[in-house]
Every structure is written in C-alpha cells, then in structure tokens.
A and B are shown apart, each in its own frame.
Chain A
Amino acid sequence: DAKTTQPTSMDCAEGRAANLPCNHSTISGNEYVYWYRQIHSQGPQYIIHGLKNNETNEMASLIITEDRKSSTLILPHATLRDTAVYYCIVLLMNTGFQKLVFGTGTRLLVSP
C-alpha cells in the first residue's frame, strides 16, 4: 500500500506557482521522498527527490518539513504542459532493489 496521502485534484492558473502537498506521517529516517508525474497516456516522469533538506532542480522545488511528515512539491511557474497526475512516493534506499508503490496521486489541472 502507498504510504502517502495526496489531494485528489488541484487547479492552478498558468504562470502561477503550483504547490502540491503530500502527507507521509509514517516515514522512517532512511526513506526518501520521490515525486513523479504522469502526463496523459505517457510513462511517469521523474521530477525530484529528497531526504531531509529542501531540494531544487530545473523542474521543481521540494520542501520537506522538519519532522519529515509532509512535503510540498512546488512548480514555480506552472504552464499548460504541467497538467498531469503527480505522485508522491516514499522509498527506502540502500536495501537492494526498490519497489515504487504508486498511490492515486494528485491530478493537477493548469488553466489559461
């Protein structure tokens, strides 16, 4: 079972920041938070991941709370092409093969 909880859907205006929350209250100390997204009829796309510190790359920023029980994915300037289902996944590292367990994700709709 997925160990994360995400809102079913969110809306965002084009050009504005999209903040997607994720609760992972049972996360353990050596589990990473991963974010993937899936645009309609395509395979999932890796976005970003983090352990404790906030992370930023060319796609997004990941803010992880100090207690690590929740995180927020930030798309700073959403475009229409960011419309997708966003999955937040916790993953235990350094134990051999890793199994991604996809929950239902958040369906983000970016509108003009």
Chain B
Amino acid sequence: GAVVSQHPSWVICKSGTSVKIECRSLDFQATTMFWYRQFPKQSLMLMATSNEGSKATYEQGVEKDKFLINHASLTLSTLTVTSAHPEDSSFYICSARGPFKLAGWTDTQYFGPGTRLTVL
C-alpha cells in the first residue's frame, strides 16, 4: 500500500514551453501532497504544499505563477512549469501524506519516483 506514481518519469522540452507533471496516489486518498525539487548533488527542497480543493502554499522564493499546482482530486496533483528555462532543469518529486491507519496513525509521507526535467 501507499504507492505514489509520477508521470512522466522524464521530459525534455524547449525553452519557453510549459510542462505538466502528474502525481497520483494509487491506492489511497491523499488530502495533502507536496512538491519538491532536487538539483544534482543537493538535497530535496520543498517547493509547495498542496491541499485538495484549495490553493497551494508555496515556500519562500518559489514563484507561484511559474510553478502552477492543481490538486483537483484526492488522488491527483499536478505541477505545471510555465515558460520553462534551462535553470528550471531539475528532478521534481512529489509526495503524499499517507493514510493514517497504514502509517501507524502518523503523518508519514510517501514519495513518487520523480520526474527529471531537462529544458534545452
């Protein structure tokens, strides 16, 4: 249980285009999902927290108009990188807050496999 998927696993796009990344909780409902970014040889950095049916909460320094997050259902959150540039090239990872019972009644987060974005 508690499987999180991401699609696509990798994407290459031209500068100026927009890219959408999907994050799905496959066998549980997730009211809260998180989006992280990881540059080479660095740790994960939280970009935003997404709650189903409401606006995402962005971390300081993350442009909300550039990284659009939609959490329209309890099993799907999407991250759209708008007008992507080479500096947006990174590894994007989502996570979902797991079901309390499965996680031993705690707020364990379960992560997707990540999406590698390369902007040319």
**Using a CB–CB distance below 8 Å, which chain A residues touch chain B?**
32, 34, 36, 38, 41-46, 49, 87, 91, 93, 97-105
Q: Which of B1-56 contact A (CB under 8 A)?
A: 4, 6, 32, 34, 43-46, 49, 51
21 A-B Cβ contacts within 8 A? A32-B106, A34-B108, A36-B111, A41-B91, A41-B116, A43-B4, A43-B6, A43-B93, A43-B94, A46-B108, A46-B109, A46-B111, A49-B106, A93-B107, A98-B107, A99-B46, A100-B44, A100-B95, A102-B44, A103-B43, A104-B43
Partner of A42 from the list B34, B49, B107, B113 (CB cut-off 8 Å) is B113
B99 at the interface (CB under 8 A from A): no
Known interface pairs A32-B106, A93-B106, A97-B49; A45-B111 also in contact (CB < 8 Å): yes
Complex partner residue of A99 from B49, B112, B116, CB under 8 angstroms:
B49
Interfacial chain B residues near A93, Cβ < 8 Å: 106-107
- Interfacial chain B residues near A87, Cβ < 8 Å: 43
Q: Count of chain B residues with Cβ under 8 Å from any Cβ of A?
A: 25
Q: In the assembled complex, which residues on chain B have CB atoms less than 8 Å from the CB atom of A44?
A: 44, 93, 95, 111
Q: A46-B108, A46-B109 are in contact. Are A41 and B114 (CB under 8 A)?
A: yes
Residues of B at the A interface (CB closer than 8 Å) are 4, 6, 32, 34, 43-46, 49, 51, 91, 93-95, 97, 106-114, 116
User: What residues of B have a CB within 8 angstroms of the CB of A45 in the complex?
Assistant: 111
**Cβ-defined contact, A102 with B43, below 8 A:** yes
The one of A43, A99, A101, A103 that contacts B111, using a Cβ cutoff of 8 Å: A43
The residue of chain A having its C-beta at the shortest distance from the C-beta of B45 within the complex is A102
State in angstroms the CA–CA spacing of A38 and B109 once bound together. Answer: 14
**New contact pairs (4) apart from A43-B112, A49-B108, A93-B106, CB-CB < 8 Å:** A43-B114, A44-B44, A97-B49, A100-B95
Interface centre among B91, B94, B95, B108 (most CB of A within 10 A): B108
Residues of A within 8 A of B32 (CB): 97
A36 vs B46: C-alpha distance when bound (angstroms)? 15
CA distance A38 to B4 in the complex (A): 15
